[in-house]
């Protein structure tokens, strides 16, 4: 059943000022996407939650929308910098207040402050074929690929406009023809550890660009849930499509004929990819270790040891989906020495301790964003990162 609507059937003005502004933005986005139709969405997921991404102008924009804007479809939030009722020790009260104002504006609009980049884990996962307006790139790729839902990589304002109106431009990955794979790739590497699946995502993104791949996995182990998340996150971060298909693993793959394998990815390709993601030298001091990108389920266990003695102990941050509101407001984060949980937070978009210049992480996506902040990074397995949280040094062999 065709549920799309022509733009000509939309009202010229909305019921509130916020609704009118959202309608205007959606019409403009339709022009950019060269479509004259919109499609209703089952849910929206909004990014632009960290005050350090938004700045004062972004906060003012949100607070003005919140004066009379209310979302029309279930809407969740991407991670903020840190949960303001439980900030990390290097954050000032003033900074916590600014982050709290951002969350309050979204909540006033009816957005659920899940503060997770994996909304398919904190809320009911989208159904196959459902149209969405999601803004978090890793979640967009996961929803399109693993769940068979349909969403473009929305910007934060576009996703919020879709939430306020209930529809989004009918373009891009909402259309059948843009979901076809165009290149076949055989993977013989072991993808059993999430960080290796992340390296595959980076290799695919850098090598294929926006071409949608159809993968055949011939290695010893396929990814588990965290591995699919890591692959989804890295693929789009390193320039890839927001969609991939995998024979025997993703729901749309069987609908397409097999493609000849133009590329083969072995352990050697993944090792070369890892080498590109290591700026640190053996024995170099590591000041921050980060795991939990993309977020797992709320309450997931941290891989970092609690309060382990170390000659030079780095900060060890573990991000995960936020708990429900009542739990989140109880007090400080679970803290043991310099090992902290960041429920609902993301170090890529938050203030960090001033002394931090070097970071070890098990996330290929996080490495990209932390590098873009001028930090020197090293990517390694979760197990190796847990070891670095004790020794405070980049190891001689990874
Ligand atoms: Fe999530 Fe932040 Fe990583 S938003 S995907 S934890 S960079």
What are the Cα distances from residue 377, in Å, to 44, 53, 193, 201?
A: 33, 21, 20, 18
Residue 171 Cα to ligand 1 middle (Å): 26
Percent of the chain with pLDDT over 70: 94
Q: Is 23 helix (H, G, I), strand (E, B) or coil?
A: helix
pLDDT, residue 261, reads 95
The residue assigned the tokens 């020790």 is 89
Q: Is the CB of 319 under 6 A from ligand 1?
A: yes
| Cis peptide leading into residue 288 (ω within 30°) | no
The residue assigned the tokens 């989804």 is 232
What are the Cα distances from residue 41, in Å, to 16, 74, 168, 300, 393?
A: 20, 9, 7, 30, 47
Counting as low any pLDDT under 70, the low residues of the chain are 306-312, 323-337
Name all domains of the chain by residue range, CATH numbers in brackets: 5-176 (3.30.499), 180-271 (3.40.1060), 288-391 (no CATH)
pLDDT, residue 155, reads 96
* Bridge partners (DSSP) listed for residue 185: 215, 263
Q: Is the CB of 370 under 6 A from ligand 1?
A: no
Residue 34 Cα to ligand 1 middle (Å): 30
pLDDT, residue 220, reads 98
Q: Is the CB of 117 under 6 A from ligand 1?
A: yes
Both tokens assigned to 294 = 């993309």
Triad 288, 292, 298: Cα angle to 5°: 130
Q: Is the CB of 293 under 6 A from ligand 1?
A: yes
pLDDT, residue 337, reads 62
Any residues with CB less than 8 A from the CB of 249 and at least 6 apart, and which?
A: 146, 217, 222
Residue 112 Cα to ligand 1 middle (Å): 18
- Nearest atom of ligand 1 to the alpha carbon of 136: 4
- Burial annotation 73-85 (CB, 10 A radius, 16+ → b, else e): bbbbbbbbbbbbb
Length of the chain: 398
pLDDT, residue 329, reads 46
Q: Give the whole-angstrom CA distance, residue 49 versus residue 103.
A: 7
> Could you read off the pLDDT of 189-234 as tens digits, one per residue?
999 999 999 999 999 999 999 999 999 999 999 999 999 999 999 9
Helix residue ranges per DSSP H, 47-186: 51-66, 93-108, 119-122, 137-142, 156-165
- Whose Cα sits closest to atom 3 in ligand 1? 293
Both tokens assigned to 189 = 């590497």
Residue 154 Cα to ligand 1 middle (Å): 16
- The pTM of the full predicted model, rounded to 2 decimals, is 0.95
- Sheet arrangement for strand 5-6: 5-6, 37-40, 167-169
Return the best residue to mutate from 230, 232, 295 for the ligand 1 pocket (most ligand atoms within 8 A of CB). Answer: 295
């Amino acid at each position: 059943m065709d549920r799309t609507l022509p733009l000509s059937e939309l009202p010229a003005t909305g019921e509130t000022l916020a609704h009118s502004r959202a309608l205007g933005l959606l019409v403009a986005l339709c022009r950019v996407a060269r479509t004259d139709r919109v499609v209703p969405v089952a849910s929206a997921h909004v990014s632009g939650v960290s005050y350090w991404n938004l700045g004062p102008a972004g906060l003012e924009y949100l607070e003005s929308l919140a004066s009379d804007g209310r979302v029309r479809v279930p809407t969740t939030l991407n991670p903020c910098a840190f949960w303001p009722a439980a900030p990390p020790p290097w954050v000032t009260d003033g900074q916590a207040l600014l982050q709290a104002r951002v969350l309050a504006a979204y909540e006033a609009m009816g957005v659920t402050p899940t503060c997770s980049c994996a909304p398919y884990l904190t809320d009911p996962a989208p159904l196959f074929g459902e149209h969405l307006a999601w803004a978090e790139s890793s979640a967009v790729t996961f929803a399109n690929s693993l769940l068979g839902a349909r969403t473009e990589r929305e910007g934060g304002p576009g996703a919020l406009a879709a939430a306020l109106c209930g529809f989004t431009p009918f373009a891009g990955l909402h259309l059948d023809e843009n979901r076809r794979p165009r290149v076949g790739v055989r993977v013989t590497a072991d993808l059993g550890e999430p960080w290796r699946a992340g390296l595959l995502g980076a290799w695919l993104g850098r090598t294929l660009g926006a071409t949608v791949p159809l993968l055949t996995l011939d290695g010893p182990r396929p990814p588990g849930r965290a591995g699919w998340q890591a692959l989804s996150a890295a693929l789009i971060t390193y320039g890839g499509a927001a969609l991939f298909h995998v024979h025997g693993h993703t729901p749309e793959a069987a609908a397409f004929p097999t493609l000849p394998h133009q590329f083969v990815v072995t352990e050697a390709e993944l090792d070369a990819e890892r080498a590109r993601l290591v700026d640190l030298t053996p024995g170099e001091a590591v000041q921050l270790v980060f795991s939990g990108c993309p977020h797992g389920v709320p309450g997931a266990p941290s891989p970092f040891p609690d309060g382990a003695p170390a000659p030079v102990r780095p900060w060890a941050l573990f991000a995960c989906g936020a708990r429900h509101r009542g739990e989140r407001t109880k007090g400080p984060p679970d803290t043991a020495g310099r090992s902290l949980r960041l429920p609902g937070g993301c170090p890529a978009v938050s203030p960090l301790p001033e002394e931090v210049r070097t970071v070890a992480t098990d996330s290929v996506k996080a490495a990209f964003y932390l590098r873009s902040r001028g930090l020197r990074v090293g990517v390694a397995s979760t197990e190796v990162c847990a070891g670095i949280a004790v020794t405070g040094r980049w190891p001689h062999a990874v």
